[in-house]
Amino acid sequence: MVEPANTANIKPHPYPLLKDELDIVIPTIRNLDFLEMWRPFFQPYHLIIVQDGDPSKIIKVPEGFDYELYNRNDINRILGPKASCISFKDSACRCFGYMVSRKKYIFTIDDDCFVAQDPSGKPVNALEQHIKNILSPSTPHFFNTLYDPFREGADFVRGYPFSMREGVPTAVSHGLWLNIPDYDAPTQLVKPRERNTRYVDAVMTIPKGTLFPMCGMNLTFDRELIGPAMYFGLMGDGQPIGRYDDMWAGWCVKVICDHLGLGVKTGLPYIFHSKASNPFVNLKKEYKGIFWQEDIIPFFQNVSLPKDCTTVQKCYIELSKQVKAKLGEIDPYFNKLSDAMVTWIEAWDDLNPVGASGQVNGKV
Amino acid sequence: MVEPANTANIKPHPYPLLKDELDIVIPTIRNLDFLEMWRPFFQPYHLIIVQDGDPSKIIKVPEGFDYELYNRNDINRILGPKASCISFKDSACRCFGYMVSRKKYIFTIDDDCFVAQDPSGKPVNALEQHIKNILSPSTPHFFNTLYDPFREGADFVRGYPFSMREGVPTAVSHGLWLNIPDYDAPTQLVKPRERNTRYVDAVMTIPKGTLFPMCGMNLTFDRELIGPAMYFGLMGDGQPIGRYDDMWAGWCVKVICDHLGLGVKTGLPYIFHSKASNPFVNLKKEYKGIFWQEDIIPFFQNVSLPKDCTTVQKCYIELSKQVKAKLGEIDPYFNKLSDAMVTWIEAWDDLNPVGASGQVNGKV
C-alpha cells in the first residue's frame, strides 16, 4: 500500500536554486488546495498558474504563495492572434506558462499530484531532486550500468570510455509517479486496480537516439537550453485528439536534444499521483492518437536535422516543415499542428527577445 | 553498510528452468568454498568449472554439487590447435565453458561473489531473477519509463506504441553488484573506499543502438540465441591487455543483438561482490585498453552488418573482418584477436554441430 507523505511539520528551507532561477508552472481548473502539502518545498519559489476553461471562475490559491495567474482572457490579450497555438480545455495550456516565465528553469506539476514517501517513509522533495538531476551532466552516448554516475555513491563503471565522462548539459529531468501510474486508456480499462508501489531509487540518462514517452505531470527543464521546443501542441477544445500533448513535446524535445548534444534524464523524483482520470473519457481523447502514434514514432525515429540548425528555434521550425511534409498525409490535423508550431515559435520570440535579461533565447 | 545474506536455512527448491535447460559456468583458480552460500540456489543445476592457471592444482568443490571441471590440459586436448583462442591466466577462459555446455541457458558468476540481501533483508536468488529476465521479452525500440513492463505490477506507460509491446526475445540478462562496484583501476585508485549500497529495484532493456559495459561477474545468456558471440577474447598470459574480456564480448554481443532483433536487459539481480581486485595490478592490465577503447567504442557504434548475416556465426565472422580492417591499425594485437575470433567460431561449430540434440546452433 502506497500513501502520500505528511509534510505538516517541515519548514520551508533553502535550495540549491534561488527564486530568480526557477518558476513552478501549474495548469488547473480548480482551487489549488494541493499546494498545502507542497508548501515546505514550493513556497520559496514563484508560481505561474495557467487557469484552463471558464476564465470567469475564481481559482483560490492558499495564502503565502507568490504567484501570477493567467486565464484564457489573459492569454488572448497577451498573444493576440497567436493565442491560437495555445490549447483550450486541456492541460496542454500549461506551455503558455513556459513562455511567459523569465527564469532559467521550469518545474511543472499537475494539481492531483501529492508528496510521495521514499521507502524509509521520508517525504520526497521532488523539486530538490529535479534540481540535482538538471544541475549535473547527462551521459547519452554510452550506458552506465550503475545508473547516474553523478549521484552520490555512484560513478562510471569499468569499461566506460574516459573521453565521454564529462557528459553533456542536462536539459530535461523527467520524474515518475507512485500510486496511479501514467497508463493509457486501454491499459487503465484492463488493469483498473493496478497501483505503482515500486520505488526505484535511480536516475538515468535516456540514450541518444532513443525516444521515450515524456509525461508532463512531474517535469523539469532548462528554458534556456530547450524551452522553445517544449510546446504541448494542439489538444482539447476543437481538436481531434487529447492526452498526447506531453508526448508530442517529448518526441520533439528528444530529437532536438540529440541533435544539439543535450541530455534527458528520467527516474527520481516520484510524486504521489492521487486519482486516475476516467478511462472512457481518456479513450475518446486518445483514440486517434493510438493509431497515429504508429506512424509518428517511426517519423521521429528517422528525423534528421541539418547541421545549420544550431538553435532550438531553428530545429523546431525545421521539424515543423518535416511534420507537414511527412505527417500531413495521415490527417489534415498535422498541417494545422505544423502551422501552430511555427506560431508558437513566433510567440516565444515575441515574449523572449534575444538579449533580454536572464535569457539566452535557446542559443547553445 | 551492506552485508552478504545468510542462506544456511534455505532448502534447494524448484525453479522455472530445469537442470537440462541451464548450466552454471565458473572460472576459478581456487577451492570453490563460495558455493556453500549459493547451495540452495545452485545445487539444482549442473556446474561447468573452468580451472585457470596450473592444471596440476586440485580444486575442491563442496559435496553435493553436480559438476564437470576442465583445466588447461583438458582445453588443449579437446580443442587441439584451436585452444589458442582460449585465454590462459585470465578469467576470460570461462568462455570455454560456454562452448562445451549443451544447455540452452548459461549463468556465469565469479568465485568472489556472494548472495546479496534485498532491502528487506531477504537473500537474493540471483539465478531465479536472471531466469525471469531472460524468459520475458525485451523492449529495445522505445524506452519505457516504468522500466521492465513485463515485471509484476508494471506495464507499458501512456504513449508506448502498441505495435512495439510484443517486444523481442531476450538474449542476455546482465546483473549488478552490491558492496564492491565494478570500477576500473583509475576509479579504484581515486575512490578506494567507495561501496555500492544502493539497491535499485529495476530491470530494463538497453535500447537498440546503445552500447554498454558488460561485466562477466554476474551474467546470464541464451546460448541458442547469442552463444557464438559470447567470446571473451585474448587476455592474460602472452597478451598485452586484461580486464577487457567481458567488455569485448559485450560490445560484440550488443551490435549482433541489435542486428538480429534480440534484447539485452540489465539491472536486477544483485550479487554481493566481496573483494576489490588490486588496483595496481588492474592498472597494468587495463593500461592499453584505456587508450584503445577510445577508438574501439566509436568503431562498434558505427559497425554495420549486412543483411545476409542472418546467424550469430555469420555476424561474428563479418565482425572479425571489420575488426582486422579497422582496428588493426591501432595495434597488431587486433589482427591476432580477429584471427582468434574466427578460430573461436570454428571451435564452437566443431563442438556444436548443427542439428545436435538440444542445440539450434545460433540460428534465429
Chain A residues with CB under 8 Å of B273 CB are none
Number of A/B CB contacts below 8 angstroms equals 165
Q: Cell digits for A23?
A: 518558476
List, in sequence order, the alpha helices (H) in B213-268: 223-226, 245-260
Chain B residues with CB under 8 Å of A176 CB are 145-146
ipTM over 0.90: yes
Say how far apart CA B45 and CA B17 lie, in whole Å. Answer: 9
Contacts of A110 (CB under 8 A, 6+ apart): A26, A27, A91, A216, A217, A218, A273
Say how far apart CA A287 and CA A298 lie, in whole Å. Answer: 19
A197–B153 C-beta distance less than 8 A: yes
A187, A196, A266 member nearest B156 (Cβ): A187
CB-based contact (8 Å) between A111 and chain B?
no
The residue ranges of every structural domain in chain B are 22-351
A181, A199, A243 member nearest B157 (Cβ): A181
Q: In 3D, which of A270, A159, A56 has the Cα closest to residue B290? A: A159
Render B6-59 in DSSP notation, one character per residue.
P-TTPPP---SS-TTTEEEEEEESS--TTHHHHHHHHTTSEEEEEE-S-TTSPP
This prediction has a pTM of 0.94
Chain A residues with CB under 8 Å of B154 CB are 181, 196, 198
Structure confidence at residue B8 (pLDDT) = 84
Contacts of B267 (CB under 8 A, 6+ apart): B133, B147, B148, B174, B175, B176, B200, B202, B203, B204
Handedness of CA B25, B230, B264, B21 (dihedral sign): negative
Q: Assess contact for B264 and B140: CB atoms under 8 A.
A: yes
CATH tag, B22-351: 3.90.550
Q: In 3D, which of A261, A150, A145, A262 has the Cα closest to residue B254? A: A145
Q: How many CB atoms lie within 10 A of CB B51?
A: 22
Say how far apart CA A224 and CA B82 lie, in whole Å. Answer: 59
Say how far apart CA A99 and CA A273 lie, in whole Å. Answer: 26
Q: Cell digits for A180?
A: 496511479
Q: Assess contact for B146 and A266: CB atoms under 8 A.
A: no
Residue-by-residue pLDDT tens, chain B, 364 positions: 678 998 888 887 767 777 899 999 999 999 999 999 999 999 999 999 999 999 999 999 999 999 999 999 999 999 999 999 999 999 999 999 999 999 999 999 999 999 999 999 999 999 999 999 999 999 999 999 999 999 999 999 999 999 999 999 999 999 999 999 999 999 999 999 999 999 999 999 999 999 999 999 999 999 999 999 999 999 999 999 999 999 999 999 999 999 999 999 999 999 999 987 899 999 999 999 999 999 999 999 999 999 999 999 999 999 999 999 999 999 999 999 999 999 999 999 999 998 654 444 433 3
CB-based contact (8 Å) between A197 and chain B?
yes
CB-based contact (8 Å) between A129 and chain B?
no
State how far the alpha carbon of B346 is from the alpha carbons of A219, B285, B314, in Å: 53, 28, 11
A207–B202 C-beta distance less than 8 A: no
A162, A206, A213 member nearest B157 (Cβ): A213
CB-based contact (8 Å) between A187 and chain B?
yes
Say how far apart CA A154 and CA A138 lie, in whole Å. Answer: 14
Residues (pLDDT < 70) of chain A are: 1, 14, 355-364
Structure confidence at residue B284 (pLDDT) = 94
Interface of B with A in 234-293 (CB under 8 A): 243-244, 246-247, 250, 266, 290, 293
Q: Assess contact for A68 and A50: CB atoms under 8 A.
A: no
Structure confidence at residue A356 (pLDDT) = 56
Distance from CA of A4 to the nearest CA of B (A): 19
Contacts of B173 (CB under 8 A, 6+ apart): B130, B133, B134, B203, B219, B220, B221, B265, B266
Residue in B118, B158, B210, B232 to test binding to A, most A beta-carbons within 10 Å: B158
Structure confidence at residue A1 (pLDDT) = 63
Residue in B157, B163, B193 to test binding to A, most A beta-carbons within 10 Å: B157
Say how far apart CA A208 and CA A219 lie, in whole Å. Answer: 19
Query: How would you classify the pairing of strands A66-70 and A46-51?
Result: parallel
Structure confidence at residue B363 (pLDDT) = 36
CB-based contact (8 Å) between A194 and chain B?
yes
Structure confidence at residue A355 (pLDDT) = 66
Chain A residues with CB under 8 Å of B173 CB are none
Interface of B with A in 202-221 (CB under 8 A): 202, 206-215
